[in-house]
């Protein structure tokens, strides 16, 4: 008799991909927030009280992280 652990049974073998869930929607909202912050930091005077170099570094970091999160969300949806 062979024991199986985890999800190795026949039931889960034919499962389809789950539909657009709340975690995907939340991920898209967070990506929009990151890219919006990058836009505000780089192209507006909304954060003019910060030094220019700090604004640019933070803007680039927000933009890169938003792009990274978008990539991870896209790969995770496949």
Residue 43 within a domain: yes
Residue 78: its pLDDT value, please?
73
Residue 21: its pLDDT value, please?
83
- pLDDT tens for 31-75 read 999 999 999 999 999 999 999 999 999 999 999 999 999 999 999
Residue 22: CB atoms within 10 A of its CB come to: 7
Residue 69 within a domain: yes
Q: Which domain holds residue 35?
A: 20-77
Residue 30 within a domain: yes
pTM: 0.70
Q: How confident is the model at residue 23 (pLDDT cuts 50, 70, 90)?
A: confident
CA–CA distance from 1 to each of 4, 7 (Å)?
Answer: 10, 18
Residue 62 within a domain: yes
Rounded CA-CA distance 4/30 in Å is 39
Q: How confident is the model at residue 13 (pLDDT cuts 50, 70, 90)?
A: low
């Amino acid at each position: 008799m062979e024991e199986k652990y985890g999800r190795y049974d026949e039931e889960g073998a034919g499962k389809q991909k789950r539909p657009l869930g709340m975690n995907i929607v939340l991920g898209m909202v967070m990506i929009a927030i990151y890219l919006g912050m990058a836009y505000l930091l780089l192209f507006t005077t909304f954060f003019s009280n910060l030094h220019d170099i700090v604004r640019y570094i933070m803007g680039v970091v927000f933009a890169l992280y938003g792009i990274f999160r978008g990539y991870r969300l896209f790969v995770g949806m496949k």
